[in-house]
Structure 1
Amino acid sequence: MHVDGGVQLTRIHRAFGPVTALADLSLSVAPREVVAVVGPSGCGKSTLLEIVCGLQQPDAGTCATEPAVLMPQRDSLLPWLNAIDNAALARRVAGDNRETARAKARPLFEHFGLEGFEGSRLHELSGGMRQRVAFLRTLLSGKPVLCLDEPFGALDAITRSEMQAWLSGALAEEPRTVLLVTHDVEEACVLADRVCVMSPRPGRIVAEVEVWLDRPRTATDAELVALRQRALEALR
């Protein structure tokens, strides 16, 4: 499935009572571009994603986007469903019957290294496998824009590194427009075409780092280390 779509945020302002989460934030994401957003805790990164997905409305400014879907920090899989029915849930919500939804999900299990685990319950899956199922559910929504909120934040360091490599390959196979929120600057540089740095609250974009390196990338590449350092300096 190859779907085009982009995002254009212009002078977004969002407040919650006396607390201003976002102020004068502008950001564009080109079709099929992967943009990572990094910033200190509480600067409005998750609020930004929810605005793009239509889960919140800005108090001022405009958000022009193709349909977007949010993959939250936790996988939010349903324990009473097996793996394939969790992944296929996006298609059930869209109106497909159970067998049609499963038929659309099944090829992705083989494609993304989950073949043989379609009938597994959640307690039988590793943390990384659960995240793959959650990502497949996100893909199966059919939305052209994916908003990923700290998708690997709950994983251990080794699994996190493996999942970064897996996601990079998955997006090469199934291109989408991606807005990725992460606290991990290294992860941002490994996965993204561009890293946008947010200020402390109220959040706005204060710097951008173009990541021009070919994929696949490794965190120990000298050029990637230099780009990571540039992003870290912008955070200070």
Structure 2
Amino acid sequence: CHIRGLIKMDILNVSNLTFNYNNNLENLPILKNLSFNVKSNELVSIIGGSGCGKSTIIKLLASIEKPIQGDIVINSISYMPQSDTLLPWKTILQNILLPIEIEKGDLIKEKDNALNLLKRFNLLSYADKYPKELSGGMKQRISLIRTLMNKGELLLLDEPFSALDAITREDLQKWLLDSLNSLQKSMIFITHDIDEAIFLSDRILVCNEKPLSSFKEFKVPKDTTFEETAKLKKEILKSVKGVEDEKI
């Protein structure tokens, strides 16, 4: 069950986005005139096979890449890449504060914020430990807290749990959902796992063509039965496989 806020307004609006890695229109683009939006307090997953453009979208939204054409109107964001990228010679608290240090922010004030987040998520006892002392799942929790320190309204998460074992991954999915509900954040979550997308999302966008110019959209109903969830999964899988079959 997803309990979300009542206020629904766009915090991301993408219009006619076109992109390829050669930065010109002569070669076949990865994205072509793609448009979509995300609303306040909405959790959106983008799902599709390798090379469909889903991670490229995250890089464009995070300004890591620049579009050839199109408009991105976005509120403040926080970006979390696939790997945890924690520095092994810094403590957990120092790692969390690293973005603040780089931006030459107020470290004293933000240290209090970091400690409050660690306490909120029952991780305060790890503040002075080093990454080598943590499991893979714990490192991803810390990476998410570091992402939350940026205070962006929209979280961009690029397959953050893909390298974890199934039990740890399920545990982190629940932890992420509870965290987002608690903090009233919006999210774009990149994944290739349909079960993960259904569990985490209000809405699922399937990459349904190449070049990607539109999504096949699925809304995830609240309080679904097992049968309804199985039916939804079957429909999404059919959509994903239909795209993959077209590429063969």
Give yes or no for contact 1:13–1:60 (8 Å, CA) kept in 2: yes
Percent pairwise identity = 33
Gaps of 5+ in 1: none
SS of aligned partner of 1:16 = coil
Summarize the alignment of residues 32-43 of structure 1 with structure 2, pairs less than 5 Å apart: 32-43=41-52
Show the counterpart of 1:195.
Answer: 204
Instruction: Quote the offset at 1:19 in angstroms.
Output: 4.6
Give yes or no for contact 1:89–1:101 (8 Å, CA) kept in 2: no
Is 1:6 matched with 2:11? yes
* Separation in 2, partners of 1:115, 1:16: 42
SS of aligned partner of 1:9 = strand
Is 1:160 matched with 2:169? yes
TM-score by length of 1: 0.91
* Separation in 1, partners of 2:10, 2:136: 30
Instruction: Quote the offset at 1:70 in angstroms.
Output: 1.5
* Separation in 1, partners of 2:155, 2:42: 11
Summarize the alignment of residues 128-139 of structure 1 with structure 2, pairs less than 5 Å apart: 128-139=137-148
Give yes or no for contact 1:39–1:200 (8 Å, CA) kept in 2: no
Q: What amino acid is aligned across from residue 83 of structure 2 in structure 1? A: R
Instruction: Quote the offset at 1:200 in angstroms.
Output: 4.7
* Separation in 2, partners of 1:125, 1:27: 38
SS of aligned partner of 1:170 = helix
Is 1:81 matched with 2:90? yes
* Separation in 1, partners of 2:177, 2:42: 12
TM-score by length of 2: 0.87
Give yes or no for contact 1:72–1:148 (8 Å, CA) kept in 2: yes
Show the counterpart of 1:92.
Answer: 101
* Separation in 2, partners of 1:156, 1:19: 37
Greater C-alpha radius of gyration: 2
Q: How large is the RMSD of aligned CA atoms in angstroms?
A: 1.9
Instruction: Quote the offset at 1:199 in angstroms.
Output: 2.6
Show the counterpart of 1:222.
Answer: 227
Q: What amino acid is aligned across from residue 6 of structure 1 in structure 2? A: I
Give yes or no for contact 2:180–2:186 (8 Å, CA) kept in 1: no
Q: Alignment partner for residue 150 of structure 2, among 141, 144, 147?
A: 141
Show the counterpart of 1:104.
Answer: 113
How many pairs does the alignment contain?
A: 230
Q: What amino acid is aligned across from residue 60 of structure 1 in structure 2? A: Q
* Separation in 1, partners of 2:64, 2:164: 26
Give yes or no for contact 2:205–2:216 (8 Å, CA) kept in 1: yes
